[in-house]
């Protein structure tokens, strides 16, 4: 890292923030960047990779072709980054690392959101399962093909640690350095904790907005959730004649703000009390130091439950979920029974993996191919494979 950049970062970072100068480094050592920090380089590599652009056409809740204004995985990831960066800066944490982790956190997501992931996990049951978090790490460590000297993006340990939010203990044992904390019950760095919480805040609130836009939720119905009710009352008092669209936005932005302010205040409090000397003290702490206050956490969970009941299980969403599961399951089955149906490079990878690891190796390559698909590519590929009227 260049001298000027490191001085600038030292002047603004809290002692417990992640610092480029004390990074645990990259899997394949590289010379430091000339004009950027190490974490800037991570962020830039993420933005330029194929998996990031694919997020544009991957479902958050609503399938991409259902409407142009709904969140997709990429706009979701940008909202996560925005929320997490605000909090990072207020707490003097490393804003760039927070942004990099936020932008990368969903890189391993399948087409069709959670429905696609559940279906792929079921397909992979006999071959080690499928975890989208682990797939995000696999994407940046192995699957991206961009650099001559190493596979993947060769990101810093701190960024990889943040991408791997959770994983099974069996997997953690295979992962080496980034898996250790799950076995030792340690925490990740604060920037990783923050990106995780930013994810929760972002989707809870934007799903309210998208659900209302789709006509599946109403503000009046949502008013049974205390977090919404408080903001709705305030908006109605201040602006009784507001149009519906502006009212929704005024309510949702206040909900985001209330949660962000709460996280900043309660995390500051926890940090003041715990007083970790550095990032290793953060990792050794018995619980996360970034978090909401108890009352806000309770309200956050109420909203989450409400969305599960009224949005994610809404008949219109469920119909699409079932179709999506069928597409993913059919694709996996077809490629698994004959890998030659996949494009040449995926077929070759599957053949090589099968030589070393048997059917599980082939399954992992099929799962990589299916997980990498965008919604529309998966739909198109499904039609090409199963509809005799379609051109192959
Ligand atoms: Mg997410």
Residue 216, both tokens: 């599946």
* Alpha carbon of 232 to ligand 1 centroid (Å): 26
pLDDT of residue 118: 94
Q: Using the mean position of ligand 1's atoms as its centre, give its distance from the Cα of residue 106 in Å.
A: 5
Helix, strand, or coil (residue 72):
strand
What separation in Å is there between the alpha carbon of 340 and the centre of ligand 1?
33
The pLDDT-based confidence of 285 (bands split at 50, 70, 90) is very high
Nearest one of 136, 139, 127 to 170, comparing CA atoms:
127
117-137 confidence digits (pLDDT tens): 999 999 999 999 999 999 999
Distance 339 CA to ligand 1 centre (A): 31
Q: Please, what are the domains in the chain?
A: 3-210 (1.10.3210.10)
Residue 296, number of CB atoms within 10 A of its CB: 18
- 249 has pLDDT over 60: yes
Q: What is the predicted pLDDT for the residue at 11?
A: 57
287-323 pLDDT, tens digit per residue, is: 999 999 999 999 999 999 999 999 988 988 888 889 9
Q: What pLDDT, in 10s, does the model give residues 217-241? A: 999 999 999 999 999 999 999 999 9
Residue by residue, DSSP assigns 320-358 as HHHHHHHHHHHHHHHHHH-GGGS-HHHHHHHHHHHHHHT
Residue 216 burial (CB count, 10 A): 18
Rounded alpha-carbon distances, angstroms, from residue 131 to 169, 196, 206, 254, 289: 12, 16, 24, 33, 25
Report d(CA 48, CA 146) in Å as an integer: 10
Q: What three-state secondary structure class fits 29? A: coil
CA of 1 to the centre of ligand 1 (A): 30
Q: What is the DSSP string of 299-326?
A: HHHHHHHHHIIIIITSHHHHHHHHHHHH
Mean of all residue pLDDT scores within the chain: 93
pLDDT higher at 61 or 97: 97
Q: pTM score, two decimals?
A: 0.95
CA 76–ligand 1 middle distance (angstroms): 7
């Amino acid at each position: 890292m260049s001298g000027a950049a490191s001085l600038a970062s030292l002047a603004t970072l809290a002692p417990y923030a992640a610092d480029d100068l004390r990074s645990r480094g990259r899997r394949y050592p590289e010379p430091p960047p000339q004009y950027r920090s190490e974490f800037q380089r991570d962020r830039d590599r993420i933005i330029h990779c194929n998996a990031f652009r694919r997020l544009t056409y991957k479902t958050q809740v609503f399938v991409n072709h259902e409407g142009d204004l709904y969140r997709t995985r990429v706009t979701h990831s940008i909202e996560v980054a925005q929320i997490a960066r605000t909090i990072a800066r207020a707490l003097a944490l490393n804003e760039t690392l927070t942004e990099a982790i936020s932008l990368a956190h969903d890189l391993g997501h399948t087409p069709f959101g959670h429905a696609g992931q559940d279906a792929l996990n079921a397909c992979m049951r006999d071959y080690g399962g499928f975890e989208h978090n682990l797939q995000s790490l696999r994407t940046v460590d192995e699957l991206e093909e961009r650099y001559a000297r190493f596979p993947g993006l060769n990101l810093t340990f701190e960024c990889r640690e943040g991408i791997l939010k959770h994983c099974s203990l069996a997997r953690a044992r295979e992962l080496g350095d980034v898996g250790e904390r799950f076995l030792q019950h340690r925490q990740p760095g604060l920037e990783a904790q923050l990106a995780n919480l930013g994810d929760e805040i972002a989707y809870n609130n934007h799903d309210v907005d998208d659900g209302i836009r789709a006509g599946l939720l109403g503000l009046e119905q949502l008013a049974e959730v205390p977090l919404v009710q408080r903001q709705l009352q305030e908006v109605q008092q201040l602006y009784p004649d507001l149009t519906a669209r502006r009212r929704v936005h005024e309510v949702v932005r206040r909900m985001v703000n209330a949660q962000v302010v709460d996280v900043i205040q309660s995390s500051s409090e926890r940090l003041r009390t715990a007083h970790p000397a550095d990032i290793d003290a953060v990792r050794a702490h018995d619980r996360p130091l970034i978090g909401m206050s108890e009352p806000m956490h309770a309200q956050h969970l109420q909203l989450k439950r409400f969305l599960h009941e009224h949005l994610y299980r809404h008949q219109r969403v469920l119909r699409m979920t079932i179709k999506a599961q069928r597409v993913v399951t059919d694709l996996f089955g077809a490629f698994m029974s004959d890998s030659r149906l996949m494009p040449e490079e995926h077929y070759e990878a599957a053949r090589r993996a099968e030589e070393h690891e048997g059917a599980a190796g082939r399954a992992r390559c099929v799962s990589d191919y299916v997980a990498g698909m965008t919604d529309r590519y998966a739909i198109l590929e499904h039609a090409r494979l199963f509809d005799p009227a379609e051109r192959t």
